[in-house]
Amino acid sequence: MSELDADLIIIGAGPAGLTAAQYGARANLKVLVIEKLATGGQVLNIDVLENYPGNSGQFDAEGKMTDAPKSGYEFVMDLHRQAEMFGASFFYGEVNSLQKEGNVFSLTLSDGTIRKAPAVIVATGAKPRLLDVPGEKEFSGKGVSYCAVCDGNFFKGKKIFVVGGGDAACDEARYLSRLTDKIVLIHRRDGFRAQKALVQRTLDNPNIEVRLNTVINNIKGDKKVMSVILKDTKTEKVYEEETDAVFIFAGTVPQSSVVSSLNVALDESGYIITDQNMATNIAGLFAAGDIRSGAFRQVVTAAADGALAAHSAAGYIDAL
């Protein structure tokens, strides 16, 4: 296999891809990680990664916290260093096409080069889902945001609407509540789908007002966001309310276009279907993390997916 560029190519450098890189390299595979944007993926948006096992911070003998848990950024930088330490290499660019001929995958990259390997792990994750309402795209970056850690500081002391009912919405609302006491969290259903502990903290937070059965119909403004048009889905009441920002956490969209040239099995939402070993229906092609159908979509499960995908890929390569 002297014509190959790597034994294992991993597309995506979030927790799943970085863990796969570490496990693949430790299995003595030549590993290449390809990342379109920056190492970390959505984890970069996590202010305090408090629910990763063992990442609880440092405590003194009396049980008092002396050092907070790592941020998402600190966590993925550690993963990146570990992967490099074990021998994984990185390329920052986009995969323009993915093909398979015989037992070899060919990836055409954004710099025009072609990289080949017998096994590929897709760990491209997912991106924020848009509300698709008037004003959302027009005011993106001008009061509409999908990342509290990135943009929250611009709205200290300001009124902020947060949209969503999952873990991300509750987490981000809590982060923003440290910057202002005027947070309004709205959700279109009559209950949250987030973990119960997160929901209770949100409800108990004096800086967060919760409005259920409420949706945004329109985001209005001039050069920046100035108000939102809201609708109560039970009473059908429509009303306008002033705000300085709208932070949207309404779910995710799978980034599975990289496999569009292959006959990869996807679920109805576009996530990649795998078996319990992270294998797809294409021999030698594996998927891990948020891109995988049925994934719990937590950092800890993404890392576990990555480890198992690399282990399975190593077994597949040995079988070849």
Q: Given a cut of 60, is residue 202 above it in pLDDT?
A: yes
* Catalytic residue list: 147, 150-151
Average pLDDT over residues 167-172: 92
- Residues 83-102 pLDDT 10s: 999 999 999 999 999 999 99
Q: Which pLDDT value is given to residue 34?
A: 97
Q: Which residues are CB-contacts of 37 (< 8 A; sequence separation ≥ 6)?
A: none
Q: Given a cut of 70, is residue 2 above it in pLDDT?
A: no
> Nearest 5°: CA angle at 84, between 81 and 90?
110
Question: Would you say the CATH fold of 144-248 matches that of 8-128+252-319?
Answer: yes
- Residues 24-40 pLDDT 10s: 999 999 999 999 988 98
Which CATH superfamily is 8-128+252-319 part of?
Answer: FAD/NAD(P)-binding domain (3.50.50.60)
Give the architecture-level CATH label for domain 144-248.
3-Layer(bba) Sandwich (3.50)
- In the predicted model, what is the mean pLDDT of the chain? 93
Q: Given a cut of 80, is residue 68 above it in pLDDT?
A: no
Q: Which pLDDT value is given to residue 151?
A: 86
- Residues 265-292 pLDDT 10s: 999 999 999 999 999 999 999 999 999 9
Q: Given a cut of 70, is residue 1 above it in pLDDT?
A: no
Render the chain in DSSP notation, one character per residue.
Answer: -TT-S-SEEEE--SHHHHHHHHHHHHTT--EEEEESS-TTGGGGG-S--TTSTT-S-EE-TTS-EEEPPPPHHHHHHHHHHHHHHTT-EEEES-EEEEEEETTEEEEEETTS-EEEESEEEE---EEEPP---TTTTTTBTTTEES-HHHHGGGGTTS-EEEE-SSHHHHHHHHHHTTT-S-EEEEESSSS--S-HHHHHHHHH-TTEEEEESEEEEEEEESSSEEEEEEEETTT--EEEEE-SEEEE---EEE--GGGTTTT--B-TTSPBP--TTSB-SSTTEEE-GGGBTT----HHHHHHHHHHHHHHHHHHHHH-
Confidence of residue 65 (pLDDT cuts 50, 70, 90): low
Query: Which stretch of 158-162, 241-245, 293-297 has the lowest confidence by average pLDDT?
Result: 293-297
Judge contact between 32 and 89, C-beta under 8 A: yes
Return the domain boundaries, the chain: 8-128+252-319, 144-248
Tally Cβ neighbours within 10 Å of residue 114: 12
Average pLDDT over residues 182-186: 98
User: pTM of the entire structure?
Assistant: 0.80
Q: Which pLDDT value is given to residue 66?
A: 66
Confidence of residue 251 (pLDDT cuts 50, 70, 90): confident
